[in-house]
Amino acid sequence: MVTRPAPADREAGYRLLGELAGPETVEGTLAGLDRLAPGFADWIVTCLFGGTYQREGLAPRDRQIATLAALTAFGGVDPQVDDHVRNSLRIGMAPREIVEVMVHLVPYVGVPKALAGLRVAGAVFEDLGIDPAEEGS
């Protein structure tokens, strides 16, 4: 059996992370993580954003919906949910769509986890001065 090589493009990973999360995350958050666990931040960016996110088959918006759902379902990872709510907004998802992802999860992951995801999303919206009930937000 011959397998296809998996993408692991460091430059593409950093470029995509910069687009999704903004340069302050690339420079600030990753630098802090690298001080704590040298090399781990680069591994995350190269393998996740330079690998998984580079695969064909899903648009960035669809990947963000899947990521929001997975992180919320997992629970206990509020900083990552926060990051991905912000990433979702940066790529053009409307706040109402993010809210609906969390609401849609209720029958699958339970009320407490969906509420936790909504709480994180609400805090991000408040931090950014966004009213998710307004059209065009």
Mean confidence (pLDDT) of the chain: 92
Output Rg (C-alpha) for the chain, integer angstroms. 16
User: Given phi > 0 = left and psi -120 to 50 = alpha, else beta, which region is 79?
Assistant: alpha
Region(s) of the chain under CATH 1.20.1290.10: 58-137
Check: CB of residue 101 under 8 Å from CB of residue 69: yes
pLDDT band at 135 (very low <50, low <70, confident <90, very high): low
| pLDDT at residue 22 tops 90 | no
Query: Residue 109 has what pLDDT?
Result: 97
Give the model's pLDDT for residue 136: 58
pLDDT-derived band of residue 23, with 50, 70 and 90 as boundaries? confident
DSSP structural state of residue 26: I
The Cα–Cα gap between 21 and 89 comes to 10
Q: pLDDT tens digits, residue range 30-85?
A: 888 999 999 999 999 999 999 999 998 999 999 999 999 999 999 999 999 999 99
Measured over the CA atoms of residue 121, residue 122, residue 126 and residue 130, the dihedral's sign is positive
Q: Which residue, 104, 37, 48, is CA-closest to 73?
A: 104
Superfamily of domain 58-137: AhpD-like (1.20.1290.10)
Mean pLDDT, residues 92-121:
97
